[in-house]
């Protein structure tokens, strides 16, 4: 009887709150997302692949804890290709923070999901993953029953395997093997051409063939290019080029700051990672716990992943040259964007920053309302934090930053933002958490 009494007391103390995700801090999820953003930068993972990384990782986090959020539904059966009952139902008492920690650590080391330049994550990043995993797990020692720790780790591995299997069927493993020949501008001067001899190969020309998460097709929300190429610099297209030319040549200090902020840095978390990283500041303002964090990470990551599939499908359909190429050919030879990095190695229309930011802003505005917030994501690289009256205004600034940087024509930005918002609305329609 004494032994039973002691065991009951121990369980009451060690199990308190561990199965109620609404009472758990969001910090574990935040730490993993920050680590993933660092890995994306360290491994030089390109924007479409990075968005895919964040999506599957966020799905793994959400599915790890969903059974501990009263009234919430799994994403199984809601996302394209993610069959209902892919993850077996749980009947054990679990520590959901441990489940999440185990699942995301496994997913983060899987080269089906995080394929770097050399198709394998480097040892330094694997060590970082293992270190974070072990720190979080060791913090539970003595506070949670060993039996629950082991059950939770097993559950995390089950979730991770289901998400990895899901990712393996999205056609990425096939399209990354395709080869692409860059069309010659000799016969069609409107088509994209590399602007930097060090990066002659276009990024992910077949990304539009990767399975979407919520769209019926990658072209479902495409907005056709309306302002058609013209070598006449007084034409509508030529005036767009002159706008870029004049803006860059007369860039104000504020425009310069905006361009730098949304460019992030060389070796970057990419546009999707910028939005994922900025969420933690919103969590702190709202005092959100793990339940809200995993929902918002999933919404944002899925919306931005679909945005890049949709955007890249259109980019290689229209295959439009960059402002830098047009300006050098028809306005001023030898022109450059100034202090900014080289123009990215893929076609111009529509703007990736715009489609991504429009999608993120749509889902977040719906979830959070018309909030003011400060984005501090790039303070650590020496930039001043930027404050916004709304999430939508931040998306608009992300889009126009690419004109200030000399990267995009205005149509690519404005149509891209609308395309992204349409994608975000579709995500809201398709995903029901409760």
CB 309 within 8 A of CB 221: no
Question: Are residues 298 and 377 located together in one domain of the fold?
Answer: yes
Q: Which tokens sit at 403?
A: 């004109």
Question: Are residues 262 and 115 located together in one domain of the fold?
Answer: no
Question: Are residues 250 and 291 located together in one domain of the fold?
Answer: yes
Question: Are residues 131 and 249 located together in one domain of the fold?
Answer: no
Question: Are residues 410 and 359 located together in one domain of the fold?
Answer: yes
Q: Using the 3D structure, point to which of 152, 173, 194 is the last residue of a domain.
A: 173
Question: Are residues 208 and 258 located together in one domain of the fold?
Answer: yes
Q: Beta partners for 191?
A: 320
CB 377 within 8 A of CB 277: yes
Q: Beta partners for 373?
A: 388
CB 298 within 8 A of CB 35: no
Q: Using the 3D structure, point to which of 123, 141, 173 is the last residue of a domain.
A: 173
Question: Are residues 209 and 89 located together in one domain of the fold?
Answer: no
Alpha carbon separation from 176 to 49, 179, 403 (Å, rounded):
10, 8, 30
CB 387 within 8 A of CB 231: no
Q: Give the C-alpha separation, 301 to 63, whole Å.
A: 14
Q: What is the pLDDT along the chain (434 residues), one digit of tens a residue?
A: 343 333 333 333 344 446 789 999 999 999 999 999 999 988 889 999 999 999 999 999 999 999 999 999 999 999 999 999 999 999 888 999 999 999 999 999 998 887 655 566 788 999 999 999 999 999 999 999 999 999 999 999 999 999 999 999 999 999 999 999 999 999 999 999 998 877 778 999 999 999 999 999 999 999 999 999 999 999 999 999 999 999 999 999 999 999 999 987 655 678 999 999 999 999 998 999 999 999 999 999 999 999 999 999 999 999 999 999 999 999 999 999 876 667 899 999 999 999 999 999 999 999 999 899 999 988 888 889 999 999 999 999 999 999 999 999 999 999 999 999 999 999 999 999 99
Q: Using the 3D structure, point to which of 154, 173, 192 is the last residue of a domain.
A: 173
Residue 121 has a pLDDT of 78
Residue 381 has a pLDDT of 82
Question: Are residues 319 and 413 located together in one domain of the fold?
Answer: yes
Q: Give the C-alpha separation, 194 to 287, whole Å.
A: 46
Cis peptide before 336 (omega within 30 of 0): no
Question: Are residues 136 and 233 located together in one domain of the fold?
Answer: no
The parent domain of residue 37 ranges over 2-173
Residue 383 has a pLDDT of 87
**CATH code of residue 404:** 1.10.606.20
Q: Which tokens sit at 186?
A: 């000799």
Residue 145 in 3-state DSSP?
A: coil
Domain count, the chain: 2
Q: Give the C-alpha separation, 352 to 340, whole Å.
A: 17
> What residues have CB less than 8 Å from 200, skipping those under 6 apart?
182, 194, 345
Residue 200 has a pLDDT of 79
Question: Are residues 81 and 166 located together in one domain of the fold?
Answer: yes
Question: Are residues 226 and 259 located together in one domain of the fold?
Answer: yes
For 375, the enclosing helix (H) or strand (E) is strand 373-375
Question: Are residues 114 and 195 located together in one domain of the fold?
Answer: no
């Amino acid at each position: 009887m004494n032994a039973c009494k002691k065991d009951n007391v121990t369980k009451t103390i060690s199990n308190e709150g561990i199965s109620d995700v609404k009472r758990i801090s969001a910090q574990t999820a935040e730490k993993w997302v920050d680590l993933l953003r660092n890995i994306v930068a360290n491994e030089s993972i390109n924007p479409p692949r990075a968005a895919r990384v964040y999506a599957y990782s966020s799905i793994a986090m959400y599915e790890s804890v969903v059974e501990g959020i009263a009234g919430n539904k799994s994403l199984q059966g809601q996302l394209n290709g993610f069959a209902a009952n892919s993850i077996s139902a749980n009947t054990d008492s679990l520590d959901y923070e441990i489940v999440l920690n185990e699942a995301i650590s496994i997913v983060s080391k899987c080269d089906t999901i995080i394929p770097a330049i050399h198709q394998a994550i480097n040892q330094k990043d694997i060590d970082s993953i293992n270190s974070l995993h072990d720190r979080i797990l060791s913090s539970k020692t003595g506070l949670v029953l060993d039996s629950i720790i082991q059950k939770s780790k097993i559950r995390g591995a089950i979730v991770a395997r289901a998400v990895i299997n899901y990712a393996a069927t999205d056609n990425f493993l096939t399209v990354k093997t395709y080869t692409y020949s860059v069309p010659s501008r000799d016969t069609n001067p409107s088509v994209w051409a590399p602007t930097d001899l060090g990066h002659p190969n276009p990024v992910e020309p077949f990304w539009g063939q990767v399975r979407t998460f919520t769209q019926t097709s990658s072209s479902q929300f495409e907005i056709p290019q309306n302002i058609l190429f013209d070598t006449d610099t007084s034409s509508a297209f030529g005036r767009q080029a002159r706008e870029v030319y004049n803006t860059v040549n007369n860039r104000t200090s504020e425009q310069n700051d905006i361009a730098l902020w949304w460019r992030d840095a060389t070796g970057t978390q990419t546009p999707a990672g910028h939005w994922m990283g900025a969420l933690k500041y919103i969590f702190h303002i709202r005092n959100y716990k793990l339940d809200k964090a995993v929902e918002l990470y999933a919404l944002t990551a899925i919306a931005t992943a679909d945005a890049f599939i949709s955007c890249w499908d259109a980019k290689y359909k229209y295959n439009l040259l960059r402002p830098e190429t047009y300006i050098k050919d028809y306005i001023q030879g030898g022109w450059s964007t100034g202090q900014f990095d080289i123009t990215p190695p893929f076609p111009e229309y529509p703007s990736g920053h715009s489609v991504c930011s429009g999608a993120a802003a749509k889902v977040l505005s719906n979830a959070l309302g018309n909030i003011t917030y400060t984005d501090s994501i790039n303070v650590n690289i020496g930039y001043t934090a930027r404050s916004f009256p709304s999430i939508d205004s931040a998306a608009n600034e992300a889009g126009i930053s690419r004109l200030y940087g000399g990267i995009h024509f205005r149509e690519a930005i404005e149509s891209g933002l609308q395309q992204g918002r349409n994608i975000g609305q579709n995500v809201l329609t398709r995903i029901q958490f409760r």
